[in-house]
Amino acid sequence: MARRGAERLDVDRLLTDPDTGIVVCCGSGGVGKTTTAAALGVRAAEAGRRVVVLTIDPARRLAQSLGLTELDNTPRPVEGVGAAAGGSLDAMMLDMKRTFDEVVLAHSTPEKARQILDNPFYQSVSSSFAGTQEYMAMEKLGQLRAQADRDGTWDLVIVDTPPSRSALDFLDAPKRLGSFLDGRFVRLLMAPAKASGRAYLKVFSVGANLAAATLSKVLGGQFLADVQTFVAALDTMFGGFRQRADVTYALLGEPSTAFVVVAAPERDALREATFFVDRLAAEGMPLAGVVVNRMQVLAAPGLSGSRAAAAAEQLEDRADDADTDAPQPGPTPALLRLHAALAEVAARHEARVRQFAASHPGVPLSMVPAGATDIHDLDGLRSVGASLASGG
Amino acid sequence: MAAPPLERVLDGVRLHVVTGKGGVGKTSVASALGLALARQGRRVLLVEVEGRQGISQTFGVPPLGTAEVRLVQDPSGGELWGLSVEAKAALLEYLQTFYKLGRAGGTLERMGVVDFATTIAPGVRDVLLTGKVYEAVGRTTGPRRGQGRYAWDAVVLDAPPTGRITRFLGVNEQVADLARVGPIHGQAESITRMLRSRRSAVHIVTLLEEMPVQESADALAELAGAGFGLGALVVNQVREPLLPDELLARLEGDPDSVEEQVRADLAAVGVRSGARTVGGLLAEGRAHAERVALERALATQVAALGQPVVTLPALLAGTDDGGVSVLADELLGQGVH
């Protein structure tokens, strides 16, 4: 595929650079984000890196190809990858609830932890899909990075982000947590639990009473009591919780982190990619480049679509003209028409990418051809990795 | 398992919930369904709940807000309206309607209660979103709820993806467990009753690709297990095979004879017939054959899931340029009513 002025994303340089410590793959759902993360992991390990890949919700067969048969929140070695080059690959699936539980256990006394874990409000928050997954992905990333720094198990962490529609969720996780904990309402809820909360409460009492009374009315008194218990019980670990979210956020902004935005050559997916690229820039997050998966490529690129269509017509005419026991036009016209149709798709994909490149000058791109079938083994991941590195 | 006919599954349904794995064209299908119903002379409300503004993009109208906006006026007298539901606004509206809060609403907002309730308590957030949908489904033209005609003949919900749908729809029960008494509890019960009744059906959109089919099967089992009514399986972006079956078989069985003939044919019409071109054309043919075989196997799997199947064609230009209208015609042609 011609480059048309867009800079090529040098995947191998990124993966082999010892200063690259974290690669974050983000993008909208359904663009092959998890496959990209896994393929980068395999390629990096086979270039000698000691890699851990954190996936969120892999397709069953892709997970199996990585030897992930259960969601147990622990990195497991992927056999047969990287040993020859002195590298290694571990992979894990995020268990959101367990990660949350672990944070609770790590930051409170056993007695308090039990109180929190049994709270119905906690159970709702920790197992609900929206929002919590982003917090926990960040938490797990922080944990893996800390473990890598501490005992040198890994020198590269690759993260596949949750399939949230908007990047905001992922990038905002630490900040949202922070602003929630700073929220006046939460402080008020916690205030009665604090010995010195009285004067403080007085200042806000009118609003506090109104808020509490309204919530009681709407949600029922028990709900508010549960929330209050929950918030009070979490109080002790808030500090640690928040500090870690801040540390992880800072980590994401460091030059050792590389964001890879994954897209497909479709209007919606590229619009999402634009959103991600702009958002990362606004946050000052280090963008390595954009991967466009599922590009239609031609196996016979020398033959133009229009020439193929014309030749198909010619052959069909000839078959038509041979009036006596008319021979079937045979396989050639059909194959030529298929080629013409594929050429049209390929041209459209290239045009979309060209358009994207034109509005994002300086953003390196890598294009990965569409496979006939899905990827579900290591060899498939290797070939995706090779495509990523060559840029298409 | 033989699937019940589409007509029967859709009979009496007033709330159509459209879900599917991310990237399968959920919003396009929901939009096309809304349009199809409007073309039959109905008043239809199309609702999105994730603030993605997918509806405004599909219909080329300015971003939707908290007010219902007319998208299409059909000559049949039918109308399609759009609405983007947002949790914060829904909570304030809810408090206003039920408690006549007046200034207090602003106080709650300043206190951070609204943020708290809508972002941190996810169950509450979802009950507010589904609550708004519930309100629209049951809204009547009379002075009180339940009096007069229904304001909407049908409501189409562009719902969260399959990974979250059971939780999203079932979250009312979760809230019912959290808030054991009180109006939210009562509201949650009513919503759950509506979602489980014959008036509601969940349609799942898929592509003929492995992951979406797998996720659809999983979601179907989950939704059925949770007691939600199932509607159609919509297979989106279906492409007709570009090669005849006989050739697909020959490419598998006897590629050498095909190669020879292609080379001769190309030479006969003066097209380059070198190994690269001939080999390339055959490689494209083989990849296509592989793709077709996979898609057929997946189509068989989808058909075996026990729900009526609707297929929609792949549109070259996506849903730009009136593509939604083409999809709406397809839906009507296949018996959507």
Estimate to the nearest angstrom the gap between the alpha carbon of A341 and the chain centroid: 32
Task: Burial-class residue A306 by CB neighbours within 10 Å (0-12, 13-18, 19+).
Answer: exposed
CA dihedral over A161, A166, A172, A176, signed as positive or negative: negative
Nearest CA in chain B to A57: B163
Q: With 60 as the cut, is the pLDDT of residue A166 above it? A: no
Whether residues A198 and A131 fall in one domain? yes
More confident residue, B75 or B87: B75
Residues B94-106 have pLDDT tens digits of: 777 666 666 666 6
Q: With 50 as the cut, is the pLDDT of residue A193 above it? A: no
* A346 three-state secondary structure: helix
Question: In angstroms, rounded to a whole number, what is the distance separating the alpha carbons of residues A178 and A241?
Answer: 9
More confident residue, B184 or A91: A91
Residues B129-148 have pLDDT tens digits of: 888 899 899 999 888 777 88
Query: A357 to each of A49, A148, A265, A270, A352, how far by Cα in Å?
Result: 31, 36, 12, 10, 9
Q: Chain A partners of B115 at a C-beta cutoff of 8 Å?
A: 180, 183, 185
Residues A146-160 have pLDDT tens digits of: 899 898 999 999 998
Q: What angle do CA A180, B119, A184 make, to 5 degrees?
A: 30
Query: For position A96, what pLDDT does the model report?
Result: 81
DSSP A370: P
Phi, psi (rounded to 5 degrees) for A195: -60, -40
Give the pLDDT mean for A306-331: 80
Whether residues A19 and A114 fall in one domain? yes
**What mean pLDDT, rounded, does chain A reach?**
81
Residues B184-227 have pLDDT tens digits of: 677 788 888 999 999 999 999 999 998 899 999 999 999 999 99
How big is the A-B interface in CB pairs under 8 Å? 222
| Closest alpha carbon to B179 in B131, B127, B135, B136 | B127
Query: For position A197, what pLDDT does the model report?
Result: 42
Question: In angstroms, rounded to a whole number, what is the distance separating the alpha carbons of residues A366 and A291?
Answer: 5
Q: Is residue A112 part of a domain?
A: yes
Q: With 90 as the cut, is the pLDDT of residue A343 above it? A: yes
Q: Is residue A123 part of a domain?
A: yes
Q: With 90 as the cut, is the pLDDT of residue B302 above it? A: yes
Q: With 60 as the cut, is the pLDDT of residue A199 above it? A: no
Whether residues A219 and A76 fall in one domain? yes
Is there a contact between A338 and B284 if contact means CB atoms under 8 Å apart? yes
Whether residues A311 and A172 fall in one domain? no
Whether residues A315 and A248 fall in one domain? no
CATH number for the domain spanning A122: value is 3.40.50.300
Nearest to A129 among B110, B167, B184 (CB): B167
Whether residues A317 and A231 fall in one domain? no
Q: Which two tokens stand for residue A92?
A: 């894990």
Q: Which residues contact A343 (CB under 8 A, 6 or more apart)?
A: A298, A304, A305, A308
| Closest alpha carbon to A171 in A33, A279, A32, A30 | A279
Query: For position B46, what pLDDT does the model report?
Result: 97
Q: With 80 as the cut, is the pLDDT of residue A316 above it? A: yes
Q: Is residue A5 part of a domain?
A: no
Percent of chain A with pLDDT over 90: 42
Nearest to A314 among B177, B269, B277 (CB): B269
Question: In angstroms, rounded to a whole number, what is the distance separating the alpha carbons of residues B295 and A26?
Answer: 28
Query: For position B116, what pLDDT does the model report?
Result: 63
Phi, psi (rounded to 5 degrees) for B329: -60, -40
Query: For position A202, what pLDDT does the model report?
Result: 44
Q: Chain B partners of A128 at a C-beta cutoff of 8 Å?
A: 122-123, 167, 171, 174
Whether residues A194 and A64 fall in one domain? yes
CA dihedral over B322, B326, B331, B332, signed as positive or negative: positive
Whether residues A72 and A136 fall in one domain? yes
Q: How far is A209 from chain B (nearest CA, A)?
A: 11
Write out the H or E segment, with its range, that includes residue B202: strand B200-206
Nearest CA in chain A to B52: A165
Nearest to A334 among B184, B247, B276 (CB): B247
Q: pLDDT category, A129, cuts 50, 70, 90? A: very low
Residues A281-293 have pLDDT tens digits of: 998 899 999 999 9
**What mean pLDDT, rounded, does chain B reach?**
87
Range of the domain at A64: 11-301+344-390
Residues B38-51 have pLDDT tens digits of: 999 999 999 999 88
Q: Is residue A1 part of a domain?
A: no
Q: With 50 as the cut, is the pLDDT of residue A200 above it? A: no
Query: Which residue type does A305 have?
Result: G
CA dihedral over A196, A200, A202, A204, signed as positive or negative: negative
Question: Looking at the 3D structure of chain A, how many domains does it have?
Answer: 2
Whether residues A202 and A258 fall in one domain? yes
Is there a contact between A218 and B285 if contact means CB atoms under 8 Å apart? no
- Candidate from A39-48, A118-127, B222-231, B321-330 with smallest mean pLDDT: A118-127
Residues A237-268 have pLDDT tens digits of: 556 666 777 788 888 899 999 999 999 998 88
Q: Chain A partners of B84 at a C-beta cutoff of 8 Å?
A: none
Is there a contact between A222 and B180 if contact means CB atoms under 8 Å apart? yes
Question: In angstroms, rounded to a whole number, what is the distance separating the alpha carbons of residues A171 and B230?
Answer: 36
Query: For position B217, what pLDDT does the model report?
Result: 95
Phi, psi (rounded to 5 degrees) for A369: -65, 150
